[in-house]
Structure 1
Amino acid sequence: MAGTEHRLPSGLMKMRRICGYCAAIAVTPYLLIKIAWTFGLFLPTEQMGDASWRAINAATVVVAAVGILLAMAFSRPWGERLPAWLVALPVWVGTGLLVPMLLLAPVLGPAAMTRDKEAGAADFWGYEQIFVMVSLVGVGICLPLALAGYTKLRWPEALDGPIDYGELPGHTRQLQITLGRIVVAGCILLGIIKVFWAVGGTLGIDPAMLDDRDLWWYLLTLNTGAWALAGAWGLLVLITRRGSQRFLPPMAAAWISSGMLFSYNLFSVIRPDFQSTPEYPLARVLTTEAGIVLGVIMGIIILLVLHDRRRALIR
Structure 2
Amino acid sequence: MVERGDRIGRTAAYGAAAALVPYLVIKVSWVVGSLLGLLPVGRGFSLGGWLVLNTVTIGMAAAGITLGLALVRPWGMRIPGRLVGFVAWVGSGFLVSILPFVAVSALVNSGTGGSEGSDNSAGDAAMPGWEAVLLQCSFVGTGIALAIALPAYLWRRWPHALRRPERPGTRTSAGSLWPAVTGAVTGLAWLYWAVGGSLGIAHRDERPAGWHVLAGVSACWALAASAAVPALVRRRPTRLPYPFLLALAWLGSGSMFAWSGWRLPATVYVALAHPSDVSYPENVAVAVALHATAVLTGAGILRALARAARGPESVPDSAEQPAERVGRHP
Give the structure-1-normalised TM-score. 0.84
Q: Which has the higher helix share?
A: 1
Distance 1:177 1:125, change over 3 A: farther
Counting only pairs closer than 5 Å after superposition, residues 164-243 of structure 1 correspond to structure 2 as 165-166=166-167, 177-206=173-202, 209-242=203-236, 243=238
| CA positional deviation for 1:140 | 0.3
Residue 81 in structure 1 maps to residue 78 in structure 2? yes
1:72 maps to 69
Residue 63 in structure 1 maps to residue 60 in structure 2? yes
| CA positional deviation for 1:49 | 5.7
The one of 18, 25, 28 equivalent to 1:25 is 18
Deviations 1:183-221 (CA, angstroms, capped at 9, x unpaired): 111111111111111111111112xx1010111110111
The one of 158, 161, 164 equivalent to 2:161 is 158
Contact 2:100 2:217 (8 Å CA) reproduced: no
Contact 1:43 1:49 (8 Å CA) reproduced: no
Contact 1:266 1:292 (8 Å CA) reproduced: yes
Contact 1:38 1:54 (8 Å CA) reproduced: yes
Contact 1:192 1:225 (8 Å CA) reproduced: yes
The one of 119, 125, 131 equivalent to 1:121 is 125
2:241 maps to 246
2:5 maps to 12
Distance 1:47 1:196, change over 3 A: closer
Deviations 1:79-118 (CA, angstroms, capped at 9, x unpaired): 112111120110110111112222222123575834789x
Counterparts of 2:100 and 2:312 in 1: how far apart (Å)? Answer: 30
Contact 1:228 1:257 (8 Å CA) reproduced: yes
Counterparts of 2:134 and 2:90 in 1: how far apart (Å)? Answer: 22
The unaligned stretches of length 5 or more in structure 1 are: 1-7, 168-172
Counterparts of 2:21 and 2:313 in 1: how far apart (Å)? Answer: 36
Q: Which amino acid aligns with 1:183?
A: P
Counterparts of 1:37 and 1:284 in 2: how far apart (Å)? Answer: 29
1:134 maps to 137
SS state at 1:211 partner: coil
The unaligned stretches of length 5 or more in structure 2 are: 272-278, 315-330
Contact 1:44 1:125 (8 Å CA) reproduced: no
Percent identity over the alignment is 29
Counting only pairs closer than 5 Å after superposition, residues 33-44 of structure 1 correspond to structure 2 as 33-39=26-32, 40=34, 42-43=39-40
2:97 maps to 100
Contact 1:48 1:54 (8 Å CA) reproduced: no
| CA positional deviation for 1:66 | 0.9
1:90 maps to 87
Q: Which amino acid aligns with 1:284?
A: A
Give the structure-2-normalised TM-score. 0.81
| CA positional deviation for 1:125 | 2.6
Contact 2:224 2:248 (8 Å CA) reproduced: yes
| CA positional deviation for 1:274 | 5.1
SS state at 1:202 partner: coil
Over the aligned positions, Cα root-mean-square deviation in angstroms equals 2.6
Deviations 1:136-186 (CA, angstroms, capped at 9, x unpaired): 000000022111111111111222x3x45128xxxxx65x53123211111
The one of 41, 50, 57 equivalent to 1:53 is 50
SS state at 2:196 partner: coil
Residue 144 in structure 1 maps to residue 147 in structure 2? yes
Q: Which amino acid aligns with 1:147?
A: L
Counterparts of 1:133 and 1:177 in 2: how far apart (Å)? Answer: 42
